[in-house]
Amino acid sequence: MKTEPKPKILRELEEIAGSNYILHDPDELLAYECDGLTHHRSLPDFVVFPETTHQVSRLVELARRYRMPFTARGSGTGLSGGATAARGGMIIETSRMKRILEVDAEARAAVVQPGVINMEISRRVADAGFFYAPDPSSQIACTIGGNIAENSGGPHCLKYGTTVNHVLALSVVLGDGEVMELGGAAADPPGYDLCGIFVGSEGTFGIATEIRLRLVRTSPATRTLLAAYAHVQQATETVSDIVAAGIVPVALEMMDQAIIKAVEDSHYRAGYPRDAGAVLLIELDGLDAGLKVREEQIRALCQANGCAEIRVARDPAERAALWAGRKGAFGACGRLSPNMYLSDTVVPRNRLPEVLSRVYEISKSHNIRVANVFHAGDGNLHPILLYDEKDPHETRRMLAACADIIEACLAVGGTLSGEHGIGLDKRDYMDRQFSEEDLRAMTKVKRAFDPEGLCNPDKVLPRRAGCGEAGRWDPKRLPEGAWV
Ligand SMILES: Cc1cc2nc3c(=O)[nH]c(=O)nc-3n(C[C@H](O)[C@H](O)[C@H](O)COP(=O)(O)OP(=O)(O)OC[C@H]3O[C@@H](n4cnc5c(N)ncnc54)[C@H](O)[C@@H]3O)c2cc1C
């Protein structure tokens, strides 16, 4: 039987990354057609697994020669369609770049490759008395590269800040294959803060291939409180009161009745009171003596808002169980419906009670079930909308509910996204928050990093902001001799 000759582009990809590290069979590519946001789907033409910065740079140079779009991908847990190859082309997957290259306890820093899983860093440095602070609930699966792209947050970012506050320096491969060093070992290097602007650029400026991260000293003492309420409103009022009193817990998270039930019915069971309408998970850290005073203040605010029960974790195992429930909440909801859409918006914290009430009204008016678990201390709402994508009417109602939730948040001075990014999902809402001038300025910044627009195209900027919609990349329409 005559075998087809390999396309030249494939031979070149194999020459760079090795023939075992390329996928191009449509069946294998299926696993890469979307990220955690499953209603945006688009197959890449190739998935390549490089191991070094040099290989990434050569892959990007090749993409440029063939005018092929490319998209970096970590673990694909993103929730805004960021790692989806919107125009096809090449996915550059970082799972082989998973080494922790250096831990410098004296400088309180670690140097890692982008495919390192978030949780691995804290595990590695725990014995030396450190941890890596940004802790997305997906931290057992998501990569540092993905965290950098999305400027990820997590429960403990209320006190410690999000990813951008913990990245000291980056090696990045830009849209033309050039390798650039951003930031530096010392804090606040002079000149423009290019490291800061790269963090949160959603993979549209280039690919991070080496990252110097800040490590944080583990606190001498921690207190984890669970406060249970009959009504959601009482819990949200408590959050507003804690913030207004100037108390900054390490974490201040809220779960409503639907989440409590889902968690308690799942293997993440945490011992949350099943009959509660809402619970707050409140964590404090610092010196033991100081914690007592703050705990008393918080107890008083909880009680003033009609708290039914306050429990303090008695030991590390109980604390871990309380957090496992919170971090497993999204997974626990998987049993409630065939599909879920996890919304992500931010509102001023004093507007939380009214906006959350509005979220319940919206879900009721569209006849879509909703469960709420969120970073209450940051005002970062995460309504989980439950639906079945096989039912087109229900899917339409779910999308209409999402749109109304976004409008309700913007109406009180909120923002489009707290941590999941804009990606494909919200780019057409960008002009609801930003002016024409703002969007033009963002487009210019994107072009400075990626003049040819091949790096993760069609993300973040709305369709009409000038970055163009070139349609799908077609490997059959390559320069002479490229495909055969
Ligand atoms: C159950 C669950 C809970 C979650 N909880 C949180 C949470 O608490 N907080 C939070 O912020 N997010 C959360 N997320 C969202 C998601 O986990 C984060 O956005 C995470 O940072 C994505 O990492 P990833 O490795 O999966 O990236 P991917 O999904 O693979 O990619 C995300 C984006 O990063 C880009 N990218 C990936 N690697 C690189 C690189 N090396 N250089 C440049 N760009 C790159 C991609 O192009 C894409 O745009 C949650 C998701 C799930 C499923």
Span 218-224, mean pLDDT?
A: 95
Q: Is the pLDDT of residue 397 over 80?
A: yes
d(CA 297, CA 311): 15
Q: Which of 34, 55, 77, 419 to mutate to test the pocket of ligand 1 (most atoms within 8 A of CB)?
A: 77
Q: Which of 60, 150, 459, 461 to mutate to test the pocket of ligand 1 (most atoms within 8 A of CB)?
A: 150
d(CA 41, CA 62): 25
- Please report which confidence band the pLDDT of residue 254 belongs to, taking 50, 70 and 90 as the band edges: very high
Span 238-257, mean pLDDT?
A: 94
The three-state secondary structure class of 140 is: coil
Q: Where are the beta strands (DSSP E) in 89-156?
A: 90-93, 100-104, 109-112, 130-131
Q: How far is the CA of 26 from the centre of ligand 1 (A)?
A: 24
d(CA 384, CA 405): 11
Instruction: Spell out the residues 6+ positions from residue 148 whose beta carbon is closer than 8 angstroms to its own.
Output: 114, 163, 167, 170, 198, 199, 208, 211
Q: Which atom of ligand 1 is nearest to the CA of 115?
A: 41
Q: Which of 142, 327, 374, 378 to mutate to test the pocket of ligand 1 (most atoms within 8 A of CB)?
A: 142
Two structure tokens written together for 5: 């000759």
Q: Which of 33, 49, 73, 171 to mutate to test the pocket of ligand 1 (most atoms within 8 A of CB)?
A: 73
Looking at the DSSP bridge assignments, the partners of residue 309 are 228
Between β-strands 90-93 and 46-48, what pairing exists: parallel, antiparallel or unpaired? parallel
d(CA 61, CA 46): 15
d(CA 138, CA 147): 10
- The predicted structure's pLDDT at residue 480: 56
Quick one: what percent of the chain has pLDDT higher than 90? 90
- The predicted structure's pLDDT at residue 475: 76
The pTM of the full predicted model, rounded to 2 decimals, is 0.94
pLDDT tens digits along 43-63: 999 999 999 999 999 999 999
d(CA 341, CA 350): 25
- The predicted structure's pLDDT at residue 469: 54
pLDDT tens digits along 370-390: 999 999 999 999 999 999 999
Across 19-48, b (16+ Cβ under 10 Å) vs e yields eebbbbeeeebeebebbbbeebebbbbbbb
Q: How far is the CA of 150 from the centre of ligand 1 (A)?
A: 6
Q: Which atom of ligand 1 is nearest to the CA of 144?
A: 25
Helix, strand, coil fractions of the chain, as percent rounded to 5: 40, 20, 40
Q: Are 400 and 434 in contact (CB under 8 A)?
A: no
d(CA 231, CA 358): 15
d(CA 54, CA 432): 40
- Please report which confidence band the pLDDT of residue 188 belongs to, taking 50, 70 and 90 as the band edges: confident
- The predicted structure's pLDDT at residue 478: 66
371: alpha, beta or left? (left if phi > 0; alpha if psi -120 to 50): beta
304: alpha, beta or left? (left if phi > 0; alpha if psi -120 to 50): alpha
pLDDT tens digits along 265-283: 999 999 999 999 999 999 9
- The predicted structure's pLDDT at residue 413: 96
Between β-strands 179-183 and 130-131, what pairing exists: parallel, antiparallel or unpaired? unpaired
Q: What does residue 162 show for φ and ψ, rounded to 5 degrees?
A: -85, -175
Question: Does the beta carbon of 210 lie inside 6 Å of ligand 1?
Answer: no
Q: How far is the CA of 332 from the centre of ligand 1 (A)?
A: 19
- Please report which confidence band the pLDDT of residue 472 belongs to, taking 50, 70 and 90 as the band edges: confident
Q: Which atom of ligand 1 is nearest to the CA of 97?
A: 41
Q: Using CA of residue 154, residue 158, residue 163, residue 166, what is the dihedral sign?
A: negative
- Going by C-alpha positions, the residue among 69, 8, 85, 114 that lies closest to residue 479 is 8
Q: Residue type for 257, please?
A: Q
pLDDT tens digits along 139-166: 999 999 999 999 999 999 999 999 999 9
Question: Does the beta carbon of 328 lie inside 6 Å of ligand 1?
Answer: no
Note the Cα 295 to chain centre separation in Å: 30
Q: How far is the CA of 187 from the centre of ligand 1 (A)?
A: 25
Quick one: what percent of the chain has pLDDT higher than 70? 96
Between β-strands 70-73 and 90-93, what pairing exists: parallel, antiparallel or unpaired? parallel
- The predicted structure's pLDDT at residue 72: 98
- Specify the DSSP class assigned to residue 6: P
d(CA 352, CA 348): 7
- Specify the DSSP class assigned to residue 375: B
pLDDT tens digits along 417-471: 999 999 999 999 999 999 999 999 999 999 999 999 999 999 999 986 555 556 7
Q: Are 151 and 199 in contact (CB under 8 A)?
A: yes
Residue predicted with more confidence, 36 or 479 = 36
Q: Closest Cα to atom 7, ligand 1: which residue?
A: 136
- The predicted structure's pLDDT at residue 62: 96
Radius of gyration of the chain, Cα coordinates, nearest whole angstrom: 23
Residue 307 has, within 13 A of its CA and on its CB side, a CA count of 22
Question: Does the beta carbon of 75 lie inside 6 Å of ligand 1?
Answer: yes
Residue predicted with more confidence, 264 or 475 = 264
- The predicted structure's pLDDT at residue 484: 40
Q: Residue type for 355, please?
A: V
Question: Does the beta carbon of 147 lie inside 6 Å of ligand 1?
Answer: yes
- The predicted structure's pLDDT at residue 51: 98
d(CA 453, CA 447): 7
Question: Does the beta carbon of 50 lie inside 6 Å of ligand 1?
Answer: no
Question: Does the beta carbon of 35 lie inside 6 Å of ligand 1?
Answer: yes
Cβ neighbour number for residue 367 with a 10 Å cutoff: 11
- The predicted structure's pLDDT at residue 231: 96
Structural domains in the chain plus CATH codes: 8-95 (3.30.43.10), 100-217 (3.30.465.10), 221-331 (3.30.70.2190), 337-411 (3.30.70.2740)
Q: How far is the CA of 91 from the centre of ligand 1 (A)?
A: 15
Q: Where are the beta strands (DSSP E) in 148-250?
A: 167-174, 179-183, 206-214, 216-217, 221-229
